[in-house]
Amino acid sequence: MVEKKSNLENWKINALKELKKKNLDGLIIETPEGISIKPLYTALDIENINHLDSLPGEEPFLRGPKATMYTGRPWTIRQYAGFSTALESNQFYKKNLASGQKGLSVAFDLATHRGYDSDHERVRGDVGKAGVAIDSVEDMKILFDGIPLDQMSVSMTMNGAVLPVLAGYIVAGEEQGVSIEKLSGTIQNDILKEFMVRNTYIYPPEPSMRIVSDIIGFTSKKMPKFNSISISGYHMQEAGASLVQELAFTIADGLEYIRAASKRGLLVDDFAPRLSFFFAIGMNFFMEAAKLRAARYLWSIWTKKLFNCQNIKSQMLRTHCQTSGASLQEQDPYNNIIRTTVEALAATLGGAQSLHTNSFDEAIGLPTPFSAKIARNTQLILQNETGITDTIDPLAGSYYVESITKEMIEKANELIEKIEEMGGMTVAVIKGYPKAEIEKSATKRQARVDSGEQIIVGVNKFQSESQDKIEVLDIDNNAVREEQINKLTNIKNTRNNKLVQQALDNIKDAAKNNSGNLLDLSIIAMRERATVGELSYALEQVYGRYGVKQEIVKNIYKETYLKKEDFIKVEDALSKFKDIAGVNPKIFMAKIGQDGHDRGAKVIASAFIDFGFDVEIGTLFQTPSEAVDMAISYGVHIIGISSLAAGHKTLIPELINELKKRGADDILVVCGGVIPAQDYNFLYDAGVAAIFGPGTAIPEAASTTINKASEQLMRMHNYRKSRTNN
């Protein structure tokens, strides 16, 4: 054995020498996670790994939570969908179910996420655009009409307005004749990650954690088939987190939820077996598979260590996965089919329990039925044609995969321990630690992509000379909103308003006095036809509506960017602008509407500061009028608008009209994000000076913006001069 090991060591040394003779660049690759990837792995790399003898279905579950895994039953095929009205979404669901989909995953519009009814002034551009509009039980009943809720597992991505939405689903089940204990599925209910990245929160962290605990308590007693929380790393990776950050922060979130529920008197083994997880799967194939294996190991070890679980199922991590939305590209969009397939394969080789595959056109707009069919069939082909369900954990024993699994466990453990030392994730979130770390990671990644260090096919390398025209699903926001308002009016005219008010008062009293169970009381209110907005506002009157000042990370983008010569055009444009204005260009970064995805705006703001812009950034969820107020007060030259939720055709023209009303139309307006090319002319006609679609390198966006601002200044200067002469 000693001789065999010695021979292996000698062989490895000689192999590495041969590699070096070939003068290969970057023999050792450093990942964003700080893991060094070697060109060669051997048995020597795994000889000190202690998890190699573990078995699927047994502690620490690294190889899978179930002993038989896919050989007994393949993963559940889910498709995350929801748009327009409940009726249109219902029809879409029925078609998908008839075509082989096995579970529903409901996407709600941003108005619903943020606890506003469709008639609220703040959501004019958001109703029905990035998900289905739900205002009441009546909408829920339409959403699931003809879909037996005692037979269909339903996953709902909802966090901020989780109480009225979950209560509405329960009441819709009751009125369909399905008792509460027969309902199966998952409610996301992961508010901590909202404070880190996605931002569809409503209330401050502490009362939000009380809501989470009440839902865990209620469901553990009355809904044995229902997962009370889906602890989500998905949105962290989408916001730019490294895989180790996604892994560590997600596990730390889960530990915090157990801690919060335990403080309210719940026994860990009564509810922990029904906790589930949700991870993003990006393009780093082997590391994504290793991440899921590491996640199961970490959850098993930490839950036992902190909470002394007696039920082995409390240590068992079960996870839904979704292929990455951030990896989808507007350029050469059919390439996204390949990306999604690779990511789906990584998720299944990592041992996911259910999976959603994104549609190839989601970098441009909402998925069409055509693209959704391809996404669904991707999973059907993997399950039925590839043989990957024939054996359990086929990557087990791989020198490479086992090595990076071990490294991810170790690096994630370091972050989890740091958060535990702070006092847990609630404290860390309030301090802003995970949010800041993710934003640094996101900024570094964008710099690597823009400078070509990280290759994106069709975007920064191997670009096509022409682009295929893609059909984009367009929602008539005004028509959806009008229909929802009519339904709201009808509900309020036909219900017993006295009983509704009493139910809402009971919720407020429970919130004030820290008594009762808020989900239990919400179900009573929804039975009486309280609306999502009314119930959310009742709690807002006690807890307040949460908002924070946006911070910008600095000195990261420019330091990470490799091709420094790309900054010459930016510097030249800056110099010309200063010659005209005498000052640096000043830009106000705005997020208008209820879209909380602020990665793009924050990365742009960070990079622009590094270039020499003066940058101000607005609070989230502003109306166009509020954004204009702030822009004028700061005395900016430019307003930059980030749009990711399809509200641009309503909100951006409103903002430009507000500038005109205030006599401030000399302020340049530029925008970027997920905006279909077919909408560009509409926005240019409305007065937008420049549009930067997905894949635009930030230095290019910066120089274009500065030059446009210089042209605007010269026009205004010449206009004033001509008026003076006249």
The residues carrying an active-site annotation are 80, 234-235, 591, 595, 597
- Judge whether 367 and 473 are in contact, CB under 8 Å: yes
671 neighbors 641 (Cβ within 8 angstroms)? yes
Q: Whole-angstrom Cα distance, residue 211 to residue 584? A: 47
Q: Are the C-beta atoms of residues 20 and 40 closer than 8 Å to each other?
A: no
E strand or H helix at 640: strand 638-643
Cα dihedral 171/194/413/58 (nearest 10): 20
What backbone torsions phi and psi does residue 76 show, to the nearest 5 degrees?
Answer: -80, 130
Rg of the chain taking only CA atoms, in angstroms: 26
Q: Which amino acid is at 615?
A: V
Task: Return all residues near 242 (Cβ < 8 A) that are at least 6 apart.
Answer: 31, 32, 33, 441
Q: Which one, of 95, 645, 106, lies nearest residue 370 by Cα?
A: 95
Q: How far apart are the first and last CA of the chain?
A: 98
Largest CA distance in the chain: 98
User: In whole angstroms, what is the distance from residue 601 CA to residue 603 CA?
Assistant: 6
In terms of Cα–Cα distance, which of 221, 2, 139, 145 is closest to 487? 139
Peptide bond into 60 cis (omega under 30): yes
**Which residues, in sequence order, are CB contacts of 142 under 8 Å at separation 6+?**
85, 86, 87, 90
Strand extents, DSSP E, 84-210: 103-106, 154-156, 185-187
Q: Are 208 and 161 in contact (CB under 8 A)?
A: no
Taking the C-alpha atoms of residue 276 and residue 155, their distance in angstroms, rounded to an integer, is: 11
Question: Closest Cα partner for 536 from 208, 217, 128, 257?
Answer: 208
Residue 575: which of 706, 715, 689, 714 has the closest Cα?
Answer: 706
Task: Give Cα 542 to chain centroid, integer Å.
Answer: 28
> If DSSP codes are grouped into helix, strand and coil, which group holds residue 574?
helix
CA distance linking residue 147 with residue 104, whole number of Å: 10
The two structure tokens encoding residue 304: 């036992």
Strands (E), 140-219: 154-156, 185-187
According to DSSP, the β-strands at 36-37 and 29-30 are: antiparallel
Whether 401 contacts 125, CB under 8 Å: no
DSSP readout, 433-500? HHHHHHHHHHHHHHHHHHTTSS--BTTTBS--SS------B---HHHHHHHHHHHHHHHHHHS-HHHH
Q: Using the 8-state DSSP alphabet, how is residue 621 labeled?
A: S
Instruction: Determine contact, residues 101/153, Cβ cutoff 8 Å.
Output: no
How far apart are alpha carbons 625 and 642 in whole angstroms?
16
Q: Could you give the 3-state DSSP secondary structure of residue 11?
A: helix
Cα(634)–Cα(628) distance, integer angstroms: 10
Angle at 385 between CA 381 and CA 390, to 5 degrees: 115
- β-pair partners for 356: 78, 322
Structure tokens at 154: 């339903």
Which run of H or E residues covers position 79?
strand 76-81
Phi, psi of 46 (to 5 degrees): -120, 10
